[in-house]
């Protein structure tokens, strides 16, 4: 259920900044541990300093339970090194492993964001150095941005057919990583032959798709609309873009870079591959059908 506490701190509310003294070396290690973490991406300098100041170093050993399902949320954690398993027990059933984190992973945000009991048990599997951020600092600095993005993309991602098989929590993680980009009429979003490093989902508007064949003849392919995605093939195969995608009027896209794509869309890669068999294979499977069958062009 949704938080009873207000999502943002009350204006002028007094709080005491948490400052845990640290060496330069520790600060450097924190910097590396959070460098690729989306939750920390849009902090300004002061927010970044406050977060680093408030973090507490913690060493954990294999077998140790860092978070216990049903417990009270006190800290948010970033793993600098080590590994963790996540277990969920539903309806009194024995716990089932649902996820694993390695170095750079972060967890424990849900209970802090929603004032809810811990949703899962997180157990250390390899000796780890962790950084713990207290609840107040997490809520004051990291939460607003995170919850805004999750709210913003929640309904939209639920309607994207490709992502329907994911757990709600997996869609949250995708929301954390997505960024919105806008294009104007006739802007080229991806160009056939280019090297691709982003994946896109259409948030608003429509796109035109064209493809130049071996003879240099340009073909117009079926267009793309809200909820459709493109740009994944180059990320799955490392091949150049297979088509050109152009904005038809104003278009807003949610985009994911290559690293996040591979990490977060791992569970749907099989669906992506099935939808996007190379057209020559598709054509030979549909014997007698001479029509081009590219449905979701790269
Ligand atoms: P928390 O504060 O509830 C447990 O404490 C943490 O485990 C949780 O925040 C998340 O950061 C992390 N469902 C719920 N929490 C998860 C899950 C998860 N995976 C990691 N955490 N999954 C859904 C299981 C039905 C797994 C999705 C891949």
Give the pLDDT score at 266.
77
Q: How many CB atoms lie within 10 A of CB 66?
A: 19
Nearest CA to ligand 1 atom 6: 108
Q: CA-to-CA distance for 198 and 104, rounded, in angstroms?
A: 22
Reported as type and span, the H/E element at residue 285 is: helix 279-285
Give the pLDDT score at 167.
84
* Distance from Cα 118 to the centre of ligand 1, integer Å: 8
Give the pLDDT score at 62.
98
* Distance from Cα 202 to the centre of ligand 1, integer Å: 28
From the list 65, 63, 43, 64, the residue with the least C-alpha distance to 54 is: 43
Give the pLDDT score at 53.
97
Percent of the chain, pLDDT > 90?
59
For ligand 1, what atom is nearest to the CA of residue 112?
Answer: 2
Give the pLDDT score at 264.
85
For ligand 1, what atom is nearest to the CA of residue 168?
Answer: 23
pLDDT at 296 over 80: no
* Contact present, 81 and 158 (Cβ < 8 Å): no
Strand partners, 181: 253
Residues sharing a CB contact under 8 Å with residue 94, sequence separation 6 or more, in sequence order: none
Which residues approach ligand 1 with their CB closer than 6 A? 67, 73, 86, 88, 98-99, 107-111, 118-120, 122, 167, 169-170
* Distance from Cα 119 to the centre of ligand 1, integer Å: 6
The string of pLDDT tens digits covering residues 141-193 is 998 778 888 888 888 888 888 888 888 888 888 898 898 899 999 999 999 99
Q: Is the dihedral of CA 174, 178, 183, 189 positive or negative?
A: negative
* Distance from Cα 169 to the centre of ligand 1, integer Å: 7
**What are the residue boundaries of the structural domains of the chain, listed by start?**
24-143, 178-285
Confidence of residue 14 (pLDDT cuts 50, 70, 90): low
Mean of the per-residue pLDDT values for the chain? 86
pLDDT at 2 over 60: no
* Distance from Cα 105 to the centre of ligand 1, integer Å: 12
Q: CA-to-CA distance for 245 and 177, rounded, in angstroms?
A: 22
Ligand 1 pocket, mutate which of 99, 177, 263 (most atoms under 8 A from CB): 99
For the domain covering 178-285, report its CATH number: 2.60.120.10
Task: Supply φ then ψ for residue 172, to 5 degrees.
Answer: -60, -45
3-state DSSP assignment of residue 233: helix
Nearest CA to ligand 1 atom 26: 98
Q: Which residues of 268-279 are buried (b: 16+ CB within 10 A; e: fewer)?
A: beeebeeebeee
The string of pLDDT tens digits covering residues 204-247 is 999 999 999 999 999 999 999 998 999 988 888 888 999 999 99
Strand partners, 257: 198
pTM of the predicted structure, to 2 decimals: 0.72
* Distance from Cα 108 to the centre of ligand 1, integer Å: 7
For ligand 1, what atom is nearest to the CA of residue 76?
Answer: 2
Give the pLDDT score at 199.
92
Give the pLDDT score at 272.
78
CATH homologous superfamily of 24-143:
Jelly Rolls (2.60.120.10)
Give the pLDDT score at 125.
98
24-143 matches 178-285 in fold = yes
As a whole number, mean pLDDT of residues 51-57 equals: 97
Give the pLDDT score at 276.
65
Task: Supply φ then ψ for residue 7, to 5 degrees.
Answer: -70, -35
The string of pLDDT tens digits covering residues 55-91 is 999 999 999 999 999 999 999 999 999 999 999 999 9
As a whole number, mean pLDDT of residues 104-120 equals: 94
Q: Is the ipTM of this complex over 0.90?
A: yes
Confidence of residue 8 (pLDDT cuts 50, 70, 90): very low
Confidence of residue 280 (pLDDT cuts 50, 70, 90): very low
* Distance from Cα 29 to the centre of ligand 1, integer Å: 25
Confidence of residue 95 (pLDDT cuts 50, 70, 90): very high
């Amino acid at each position: 259920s949704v938080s009873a506490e207000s999502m943002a701190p009350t204006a002028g509310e007094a709080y005491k900044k948490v400052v845990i003294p640290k060496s330069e070396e520790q600060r450097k290690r924190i910097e590396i541990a959070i460098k690729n973490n989306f939750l920390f991406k849009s902090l300004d300098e002061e927010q970044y300093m406050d977060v680093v100041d408030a973090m507490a170093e913690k060493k954990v050993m294999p077998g140790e339970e860092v978070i216990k399902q049903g417990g009270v949320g006190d800290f948010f954690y970033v793993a600098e090194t080590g590994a963790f398993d996540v277990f969920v027990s539903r309806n009194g059933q024995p716990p089932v492993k649902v996820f694993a984190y390695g170095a750079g992973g972060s967890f424990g945000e849900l209970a802090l964001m929603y004032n809810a009991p811990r949703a899962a048990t997180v157990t250390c599997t390899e000796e780890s150095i962790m950084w713990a951020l207290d609840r107040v600092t997490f809520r004051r600095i990291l939460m607003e941005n995170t919850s805004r993005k999750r709210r913003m993309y929640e309904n939209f991602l639920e309607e994207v057919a490709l992502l329907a098989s994911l757990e709600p929590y997996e869609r949250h993680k995708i929301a954390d990583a997505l960024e919105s980009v806008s294009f104007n009429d006739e802007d080229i979003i991806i160009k056939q032959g280019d090297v691709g490093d982003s994946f896109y989902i259409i948030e608003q508007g429509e796109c035109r798709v064209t493809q130049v064949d071996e003879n240099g003849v340009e073909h117009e392919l079926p267009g793309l609309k809200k909820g459709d995605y493109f740009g994944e093939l180059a990320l799955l195969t490392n091949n150049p873009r297979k088509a050109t995608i152009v904005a038809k009027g104003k278009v807003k896209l949610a985009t994911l870079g290559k690293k996040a794509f591979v990490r977060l869309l791992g569970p749907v890669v099989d669906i992506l591959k099935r939808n996007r068999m190379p057209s020559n294979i598709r054509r030979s499977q549909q014997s007698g059908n001479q029509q081009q069958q590219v449905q979701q062009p790269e």
